[in-house]
Amino acid sequence: MTFTKRLILTSLVWLSFGGPLALADSSIQGTYQAVLDHDAKAYYQFAIVTLRTVNSGNGNLKISANVRIYFGDLNSNEFLSYEYPDCPMNILTRQISLKNDNFDVSFIGYLKEGELSGDWYSPAVGRVGKFTASKIAMPPVPSGFELVKSVTGHYIGKLTNTNPNSSLPETVTISLVTTQDSTIAGGIKVSGNMRFYLGELGSTEYIETPFQTVDFNFYNRYITAKTERYGIAIKGNLELNGVLSGNVFADGLGMVGTIEARGQ
């Protein structure tokens, strides 16, 4: 038998036995690039899932995870980070769950050959949508879906006075900035300011006040912001498409108007 025939025969025997017994990327631990879909609203987010494994020595494997969900693109510094100390995975079905009672986001999916896919959930909306993650490359984004915008941005809009006792300037801009803060829940602090233009937008005649507090829930998208001066508060929603809409309140007058501003 020639060397070539022997080589072919050996390869066939090897392949018939299943080829390589395991692919290098079929290990569990590693960093997975992920795309999270918001099925109901046709938006998506990027995320980084890090899985860690520890063999406890008695034949059991403990899996822990960290999930970093980005707002904006993958280079954005606006992200929420979740830690899952124990992620049970069934060895036969390959079903894995990333859940933590302290967090409002959970992932249930299947892990095989370096790919993790399934559904993700939040108490605010229940099932948010599908997610796919891969160790090899960023999964394709769903067609027709838009990227969830970051909260950080400059919002230009109109304030409409609805209270006869209120005559707030109606051209407004809002600037919001997020910073990572490990001392607060969720890890993101939102700050910013509000500018009231007395004349047209962009003129030098304006009144500006920073926000004293900005509370923003990244999942139900509810925002509450109170200015440091003039006692003005905004309560509304900052939608995934970057449109902020809500009601405006003033100390002593109650609700004074509505606001709608769009992120630039």
Among residues 59, 144, 164, 252, which is the contact residue for another protein, using CB under 8 A? Answer: 59
Q: Pick from 16, 81, 72: which is nearest to 50 by CA?
A: 81
The one-letter amino acid code at 39 reads D
If one counts every other C-beta atom within 10 angstroms of the C-beta of residue 134, the result is: 19
Q: How far is the CB of 25 from another protein (least distance, A)?
A: 8
Binding range to another protein, per CB under 8 A, among 97-105, 110-118, 137-145, 237-245: 110-118
CA 210, CA 226: separation in Å to the nearest integer?
Answer: 9
If one counts every other C-beta atom within 10 angstroms of the C-beta of residue 101, the result is: 5
Question: Is 113 a binder of another protein (CB under 8 A)?
Answer: yes
Q: By rule CB under 8 A, what string of x and - marks binding of each residue 1-40 to another protein?
A: ----------------xx--xx-x-xxxx-----------
Among residues 12, 15, 61, 198, which is the contact residue for another protein, using CB under 8 A? Answer: 61
Q: How far is the CB of 201 from another protein (least distance, A)?
A: 57
Which residue matches tokens 């948010």?
128
Q: Name 229's Cβ contacts closer than 8 Å, sequence gap at least 6.
A: 209
Identify any residues that bridge with 257 across adjacent strands, giving them in sequence order: 161, 248
Binding range to another protein, per CB under 8 A, among 2-10, 34-42, 55-63, 64-72: 55-63
Nearer to another protein among residue 104 and residue 119 (C-beta): 119
Question: Could you tell me if 184 and 206 are in contact, meaning their C-beta atoms sit under 8 angstroms apart?
Answer: no
φ and ψ at residue 90, rounded to 5 degrees? -85, 125
Element housing 222 (H / E): strand 222-227
Nearer to another protein among residue 13 and residue 184 (C-beta): 13
Binding range to another protein, per CB under 8 A, among 73-81, 84-92, 154-162, 223-231: 84-92
Q: How far is the CB of 134 from another protein (least distance, A)?
A: 15
Per CB under 8 A, residues contacting another protein are 17-18, 21-22, 24, 26-29, 53, 55, 58-61, 90-94, 110, 112-113
